[in-house]
Amino acid sequence: MNNHKKINQILDNLNITSEYKTLNLNLNKKIIIPKNDQFILKIAMGEYAIKLAQNENNGYINKEITDLINLPNYSKLHDDNEFFISKIEFLGKKKGSYFHADKFYNFNNCYTQDSFIKTHLYFRYLLNKYKTNLISANIKFLNKEFFIFENFHGNLELPLKISHGDFVHWNTLIFKGKFYSFDLERFDKNRIIYFDLLSWYIMPIYERIYKMKKLNLNILFKLILFKLFIFFIKKKLVYSKKIFLHILFFFFIEKKMQFDEINNLFNKIKVVDGNYFHKNKLFGEITNFALKNLIKLKI
């Protein structure tokens, strides 16, 4: 029985029989939207996609301890070695705005840490988290960049915080005056503080550069630093500039791990969405450049 038939059988068993349209996403993920638009189903197939879906489930379970103002109603419908199916209450089609992060995120809580960790231990934690899908060349690069950074900037106590993990305006919706965040596949209970806010402000810059098709990494890096300087001043961040530099470094380190992970998986399955693959590769190049330039900064 092929995957399409298996999915239909599972949906029949769940009494989900309405007409629907299917969106095929990258790396063995599908979204099913019933024509009545009352909810969406997320279907994950294969080890990598299922692992992300299970992690998203953990994120919704722990929603009472995140700083996100609203999360949609969520339920797990099916979980086995072949498929993970979840249901999210459909909340309309109006996306959130890049300029209104405070509508989706509780800034009063985001500056308080849950715990602390030494720089070198946090790096080991990240490597262990992603190592399954990284190749030796990726790990060698990461170790080298971290070694240089640590020698130059020291081994500090860094604050950790629970995190959405992919907090960007295209993962938000506005419905009946409420502001919702979704897509918690990268949820983590122990991530460097400010990761979500950095993601909100930096990732749209990546997207803008991709759409421009012309890449000047020096200009891009200066733009990122300018945005972060404004961010630092406006939000009155309570940690020193030296700690903030470490936080920024680890934001790019984890993003680098994610981009490498996806590139490696594309090479394994040999099924490539050309646009997504090239975008991900470009994002990896931008991140490499950012890491190397952060090491040179003097604070």
Nearest 5°: phi and psi at 207?
-60, -40
pLDDT digits (tens, 9 = 90+) for 4-38: 788 888 888 888 765 666 666 666 777 777 666 67
| Encoded tokens for 69 | 């103002």
Classify domain 3-89 at the CATH class level: alpha beta
In the chain, list all ranges with CATH 3.90.1200.
Answer: 101-296
Cα separation, 44 vs 53, whole angstroms: 7
Supply the CATH classification number for the domain 101-296.
Answer: 3.90.1200
Q: Which string of b and e fits 238-259 if b means at least 16 CB within 10 Å?
A: ebeeebbbbbbbbbbbbbbbbb
pTM of structure: 0.89
Range(s) of the chain covered by CATH 3.30.200.20? 3-89
Residue pLDDT, tens place only, 174-196: 888 889 998 999 999 899 988 99
- pLDDT at 238 exceeding the cut of 70: no
Separation of alpha carbons 298 and 154, rounded Å: 12
DSSP assigned state of 67: S
